[in-house]
Amino acid sequence: MRGARIEFRGVSRHYGHVVALHETDLTIEPGEFFALLGPSGSGKSTLLGAVTGFTPPSSGQVLINGKNVTDVPPYRRNIGMVFQNYALFPFMTVFQNVAFPLQTRKMPKAEIKQRVERSLAMVRLSDMAGRLPRQLSGGQQQRIALARASVYDPPVLLMDEPLGALDKNLREELQDEIRQFHRDVGATIIYVTHDQAEAAALADRVAILRAGRLEQIGTPRGLYENPRNGFVAGFLGEANRFAVDRITDEPGGVRLATREGLTLAAARGTAGEAIVCVRPERIAIGEAADGHANSFQGTVIDAVFSAGSVRYRVDVAGCTLLVRAGSDRTRNAFDAGAPVHVGWDRDDALVLPA
């Protein structure tokens, strides 16, 4: 089975005078893994509700494979969905849960059995068929929910914060599983989350929403490296952000005076843009910082080790800079209070609208 193309044409949603979603156009390609990322209340659930049909749009159309489904009731849309709280039926066994969508499709018993078994094998829970949901762990329940949502081969799979209720290690484990799952079933997946790392880890493309508007759509890497504005830059990954006071041209680029009192060099920037962003891993620290267009003397506030890298907070003239450096024991080892040099190139300073 192949995934379906999903199109939003001028979809909006109002609750009285409150606009939950401004008019939105968006096309999701067949088989794509598409993440809707944004803080709560940004409109991502509203977009999802327009696909399921549970919260029909106030205006506009939703098309699945070119067919207008705006007025089709949810149960005729042939969509699979995974909920944050799993939404497994507590009084049914795992087998009965997974068999439910097949029974509603009036499939013969033998085929139901075969399909359920194949589906449970896919999530590696074949021996749990006779259990009740509450006898399973959270991660197992979510895998059953995956099996149930895909057992009838829906061309569209919606996932509404499916890992939100799980702890961090389990989340990362299930991320790998969901990626594999997507390759296996080939459905178009719309994945709603407010966790930017999760969206970046899973999705082919990510749409970032804010206050009912699409801010930017792109690949995780594209969004990270070329954010359209300060919100996107801050939402996807970490960023050092400074408010820009004044921009003046100079040979090789522009010179910025920030509100914090720093003077920075950047490759480009136009008057009216308000924010300059520098990614923590683009900032060199120690000897490596020499010879950059931007170069400052600072003091290490603290250093946090995590797998593969160290995250420093460095005080530079009263501003706190985040710096991420490879945890190379010989070169990058600075203790709190140590004076250090930090620096970055013009190209690494992104000047953006707010």
Partner 1 sequence: MSLTAGQTASPDTLPARPGPVRVWSQRPVYVLLATGPALFLAALFLLPLAHVVVKGFAAPASGPGNYTRIVTGGPYLPVMLGTLETALMVTAVCLVLAYPLAFVGSRLQGRLYTVFMALILIPLFTSVVVRSYAWMVLFQRSGPINQTLVTLGFIESPIRLLQTPFAVTVGMVHVLLPMMVLPILTSMRSLDGTLLQAGEIMGASPARVFVRIFVPMTLPGASAGIILVFISALGFFVTPALLGGARSTMIAVLIEQQAVDLLNWPMASALATMLLVTAVLIYMGYSRLTRRFNEMRA
Q: Which residues of the shown chain bind partner 1 in the complex (CB under 8 A)?
A: 52, 54, 73-81, 83, 85, 87, 89-92, 100-101, 104-105, 132-134, 148-149, 152, 167
Least separation in angstroms between residue 15's CB and partner 1 is 14
Least separation in angstroms between residue 52's CB and partner 1 is 6
Least separation in angstroms between residue 92's CB and partner 1 is 8
Least separation in angstroms between residue 23's CB and partner 1 is 25
| Closest to partner 1 by CB, 35 or 79 | 79
Evaluate whether 264 touches 294 at the Cβ level (below 8 Å): yes
Least separation in angstroms between residue 94's CB and partner 1 is 12
d(CA 235, CA 15): 26
| Closest to partner 1 by CB, 76 or 329 | 76
Least separation in angstroms between residue 119's CB and partner 1 is 13
| Closest to partner 1 by CB, 132 or 293 | 132
| Closest to partner 1 by CB, 104 or 263 | 104
| Closest to partner 1 by CB, 84 or 258 | 84
Which residue in this structure is represented by tokens 């389990």?
170
Reported residue count of the chain is 354
Evaluate whether 243 touches 340 at the Cβ level (below 8 Å): no
Closest by Cα among 83, 63, 72 to 7: 63
For residue 55 the two structure tokens come to 């919260």
For residue 45 the two structure tokens come to 């659930």
Query: CB under 8 Å to 300, separation ≥6 — which residues?
Result: 312, 313, 314, 315, 334, 335, 336, 337, 338, 339, 340
| Closest to partner 1 by CB, 190 or 340 | 190
Query: CB under 8 Å to 207, separation ≥6 — which residues?
Result: 26, 34, 35, 36, 37, 214, 216, 217
| Closest to partner 1 by CB, 91 or 305 | 91
Least separation in angstroms between residue 204's CB and partner 1 is 23
Rounded to the nearest 10 degrees, what angle do helices 168-185 and 138-150 cross at?
20
